[in-house]
Structure 1
Amino acid sequence: MHEIDQTGRVTVVGAGLVGSLLAMYLAKRGFQVDVLERRPDMRREEIGAGRSINLAISTRGLHALRQVGLEEEALRHAIPMRGRMIHSPSGELAYQAYGKDESQAINSLSRAWLNKFLMSRAEATGRVRIEFKQRVQHADFQKGVLEVVDESSGSTREVRTPVMFGTDGSGSAVRRELTLLPGHGSAQEQLSHGYKELTIHAGPGGAFQMEKHALHIWPRGSYMLIALPNEDGSFTCTLFLPFQGPVSFESLQTPAQVKAFFEQQFPDALALIPDLVHDFFQNPTGTMVTVKSAPWHVDGKALLLGDAAHAIVPFFGQGMNCGFEDCVVLEECLGRHTRWQDAFEELFRLRKANADAIADMAVENFVEMRDKTADPRFLLEKAVEKVLLNAFPGQFLSRYTLVSFSRVPYRLAYEVGAIAGGIVAELCAGLTRAEDVDLQRARTLIHERLVPFVKEHSDGFGLAR
């Protein structure tokens, strides 16, 4: 008997991006899905602004949406970002393409829009019921019982479910309950930086006041400002600063200090942010955390996915993409197994090393964005990387390209990045212009180091690009 097929109703805790998409995947398999969401329904109530960090959806996330027929609609609301636009303190601009050509872009998408869209599409399946203001305060995994508080009435009830999925974010209540069990653990590392959301409004007639198809970065060493374009012509800006220190959220206490700081460090942005002082003091200061937990499941009773299992910092633009990829891999595992436990164990085996790899790459990319993007040496290496991507297609591979524009497992992308980075560094020794790179030497190094690695792991690299 197929245990998975016999399970009629399942429960998903958390109706964020991953929970809503997961509900659609489960509905497609024929399950009735109850989704419990702690927040109010964002489609009907205004939820506090100031915590968005726009999404950068790329190949992995788009593939996940394609499986449920939503990719095209999502892309209609997205703005392709083909590279980084670097802003110097004096206002000079330098552009760095993300891929080998204009066809490779990541896409800026409103988190709120996508979440509302996914919730509505999940409900439209007729198999998904989302209940809001429902807070899980205890879980008994063996009995399949959740103790749930209705935040509207204050009443507590028991929800019985044969299988539960925790997609309730980095502060997951389901993970908290899981880690109380023997053999389960969770490590959290908070970044010493926080973030604050600011806004560049659209110009007259909804015009974009900066380059539309770029992710804008003001790198300043230990801190930075970024901006992503929105459909309405505005940009969502995020200021990343240390919590404490000489230049930090702690050191910016008055409107005059904030304005002076922007005048000195981000003068071209200041001219475009009329509400700077208001937004700086009104919007909350967000925290960023890396969560690594293991295992993500209890027998065949419960499973963590997305940030609940493996929260990462936002600097590779892969948090949502990684969580969506969890849903794709779970779907494949469910297709291969007859028992929930076997599917959950395989999912954990396939995803754990990859989730750890992208978590580490995200922290590394933070240093790259805030510090190295303004460094001439780094710019030369990026330019040489682009020359090699075009000169040796399919043979030279970069970490960024594999993470953002392929579905190659993150762990392999991480390892390729180390090999490719070594090749580029070697070729850049004594070089001043990317076009002077020794392509003959490059060919030799690629065939000595990269090609054998790709051959050895050909299964992983065989995934659709």
Structure 2
Amino acid sequence: MTGPGGGATAAIVGAGLSGSLLALFLARRGFRVEVFERRDDPRAGGKQDAEGRSINLGLSARGIRALRRAGLLGELWPHTVPMRGRFIHAPGGGTAFQPYGTAEHEILHSVRRDVLNATLVEAAETRAGVRFRFGLRCRDLDPETGTLTLTGEVTGETRQVTADLVVGADGAFSAVRRLMHRGRPAELRQECLEWGYKELTIPPAPGGGPRTPIEALHVWPAHRALIVAHPNTDDSLTGTLFLPHEGEGSFAEIRSGADAERFFDARFPGARELIPDLAGEYEANPVGSLVSVRTSPWSAAGRVVLVGDACHAVYPFYGQGMNASFEDCVVLDECLAAHPGDMGAALRAYEGLRRPHTDVLAELSARNFLELRDGLRSPARMLRARADLVLNRVFPRGWKPLYTMISHTTMPYGEALRRARRQDALLGAATAALAAGAALGGTWAARRARRTR
């Protein structure tokens, strides 16, 4: 291949979050970059989330590091709202606040997907000279030559593009992944959660200001139902209703806005009053699907590679999908720097560094769905979460909750899980020892009491 400084070319399929950020990194490394996207330009202000995707995201340490490295963090910061913890609305009507961490910086930042995407596209195009082509769908790929076949969504016109590096950043149902794996030994594990989601809006109060505390992620856990709401800079919140696709209390059963109002009255006390247009939004907004993807390999022919959801889509319940995708861009950029002149080695190193940890993230994201759905209503689990925070305050370097390691550090996901398991074992042993000591103390006291009678 031609060295990056010698004018190597890169073609990225997908102008979403990871594709746009990676375009900026590659251009700064000397690649001439073109990005192809089947949808419209996100800067045009049209509705970009027609497929039901959430329009809000939680920015945490990994994403912050990537945006800082790209020189965009300061520009985006005014468009974020700090989320200092979870504000839990109990089924019985009470509320409780759970801080995300013990330090001031251990918070998340809510940002709108459309604002973030438009900022990334603009920065890649104007600062790095990247060319974006919208309205083009990937129809075919020859990995050996790096040749893409693209078709215009409106015109139907076909064109071919050949590049030294082809990147599939085209989401969980990636065309590049399918075409890259065609005729090659490959694995794909794609799981769809039996639950779906629908977007709802909590607008600002009539007189201005928020209807509910704004600097928090709001969570309404209920029986076979869940609402999560992210804050916006205009004092509104974007809510996401999660329900099963089928069965009792499901999207299939709740067909109309009136059905939704009755369901909210029964399952989410107080939430209906925060969503004035609940009936209209429920009927108008589509139901989105939740999919998890694990696959291998992530690269082919030393010139094609996958990033983001194309290789490791996860359920949204740990808030790490975007952050992990941004971390892909950082690691791939570092691997290209570490293997100058050897694209294949760089792509293999990237997969070796990332795939074991994104597999762990998939497991954690599925597990956190159960935590949000059921654990926030469990006194025992809430007590354990408080114990983790107390131990972190007492031993700030020696004890870190798993959530802290995942969201507030850039420690690899697998390493964070191993450390959390060691802490769990230590806490279990300490609890058992305390229980045994208490039992022995009780026995000794009883015997002494008998002797003194």
Q: Same fold (TM over 0.5)?
A: yes
Deviation at 1:301, TM superposition (A): 1.4
CA distance in 1, matches of 2:3, 2:79: 40
Partners in 2 of 1:181 and 1:128 — Cα distance?
Answer: 32
| Partner SS for 1:250 | coil
Aligned to 2:402: 399
1:38 aligns with 2:41: no
Aligned counterpart in structure 2 of residue 141 of structure 1, from 136, 140, 143: 143
User: Cα gap change, 1:341/1:205 in structure 2, threshold over 3 Å: closer, same or farther?
Assistant: farther
User: Which residue of the other structure, out of 138, 151, 155, is the alignment partner of 1:153?
Assistant: 155
**1:254 counterpart = 2:251:** no
Residue among 391, 408, 411 paired with 2:411: 408
CA offsets per residue over residues 3-23 of structure 1, 9 Å max, x none? 444443211110000000000
Change in Cα spacing, 1:306 to 1:248, as seen in structure 2 (3 Å) is same
C-alpha distance in 2, partners of 1:51/1:8? 34
The match for 1:461 is none
CA offsets 1:354-411 (integer angstroms, 9 cap, x no match) = 1101111001011001110121111111111111001011111221111011111001
Residue 360 of structure 2: aligned partner? 357
Q: Is the 8 A contact 2:67 2:73 kept in 1?
A: yes
* Match 1:92 to one of 76, 91, 94: 94
Residue 446 of structure 2 is matched in structure 1 by: none
Q: In the comparison of the two structures, how many residue pairs are matched?
A: 433
For the pair 1:373 / 2:376, whether they are aligned, the reply is yes
- Counterpart Cα distance in 2 of 1:428 and 1:7: 61
Residues 381, 428 of structure 1: 8 Å contact kept = no
How far is 1:424 from its partner? 4.1
- Tell me the residue number matched to 2:53: 51
Distance 1:215 1:182, change over 3 A: same
CA distance in 2, matches of 1:18, 1:30: 18
Aligned to 2:72: 70
- Within 5 Å, give how 1:293-442 maps onto structure 2: 293-338=295-340, 339-425=342-428
Equivalent pair of 2:231/2:237 in contact (CA under 8 Å): yes
The secondary structure found in structure 1 opposite 2:228 is strand
Cα pair distance change 1:341/1:206, threshold 3 Å:
farther
Paired letter, 2:220: W
Give the fraction of aligned pairs with identical amino acids, expressed as a percent.
Answer: 41
Larger radius of gyration: 2
The match for 2:123 is 121
Q: CA 1:156–1:291 in 2, change beyond 3 Å: closer, same or farther?
A: same
C-alpha distance in structure 1 between counterparts of 2:179 and 2:269, whole Å? 48
- Offset of residue 430 of structure 1: 11
Distance 1:206 1:120 in 2: 32
Aligned to 1:456: none
Alignment CA distance shift 1:58-1:45 (3 Å): closer
Deviation at 1:48, TM superposition (A): 5.3
- 1:188-227 map, 5 Å: 188-204=190-206, 206-227=208-229
| Match in the other structure for 1:8 | 8
Distance 1:375 1:62, change over 3 A: same
Alpha-carbon contact 2:7-2:32 (below 8 Å) kept: no
| CA shift digits 1:39-75 (9 cap, x unpaired) | 0112215125553251000000000011111112222
CA 1:235–1:221 in 2, change beyond 3 Å: closer, same or farther? same
- How far apart are residue 205 of structure 1 and its match? 5.1
Whether contact under 8 Å (1:270, 1:276) holds in the other structure is yes
What is the SS of the residue equivalent to 2:43? coil
Contact kept, 8 Å, 1:10 with 1:34, in 2: the verdict is: yes
Q: Report the CA distance between 1:348 and its aligned residue.
A: 0.4
2:108 aligned residue = 106
Distance 1:319 1:223 in 2: 22
SS at structure 1 position matched to 2:318: coil
Gaps of 5+ in 2: 439-453
Q: Distance in 2 between matches of 1:213 and 1:386?
A: 20
C-alpha contact (below 8 Å) 2:256/2:282 kept by paired residues: no
Question: How many angstroms apart in 2 are the aligned matches of 1:165 and 1:426?
Answer: 48
1:237 corresponds to: 239
Deviation string for 1:322-375 (max 9, x for gaps)? Answer: 000001111111111021100000000000101101111001011001110121
Partner-residue secondary structure (3-state), 1:158 = strand
TM-fit CA distance, 1:415? 1.6
CA distance, structure 1, for counterparts of residue 425 and residue 95 of structure 2: 28
Q: Which moved more, 1:111-120 or 1:245-254?
A: 245-254
8 Å CA contact 1:135–1:149 kept in 2: the answer is yes
C-alpha spacing 1:310/1:373, structure 2 compared with 1 (3 Å): same
- Tell me what 2:22 maps to: 22
Q: Structure 1 residue 157: deviation in Å? A: 1.3
Distance 1:254 1:202 in 2: 25
Question: 2:4 and 2:339 mapped to 1: Cα distance?
Answer: 8
Q: Which shifted more, 225-234 or 67-76?
A: 67-76
Partners of 1:145 and 1:155 in 2: how far apart?
17
Closer/same/farther in 2, CA of residues 2 and 123 from structure 1, 3 Å limit: closer
Q: Tell me what 1:172 maps to.
A: 174
Name the CA distance, whole Å, in 1 between partners of 2:128 and 2:60: 29
Give the CA RMSD over aligned residues. 1.9
Distance 1:244 1:33, change over 3 A: same
AA partner of residue 15 (structure 1): A
> Which amino acid in the other structure matches residue 39 of structure 1?
R
Map of 1:447 onto structure 2:
none
User: For residue 406 of structure 1, what is the amino acid of its counterpart?
Assistant: T
**Secondary structure of 2:53's partner?**
coil
Superposed displacement of residue 76, structure 1: 1.8
Cα offset, 1:90, TM superposition: 2.9
Contact map agreement 1:289 1:313 (CA 8 A) in 2:
yes
Matches of 2:299 and 2:15, distance apart in 1: 19
1:187 to 186, 189, 205: 189
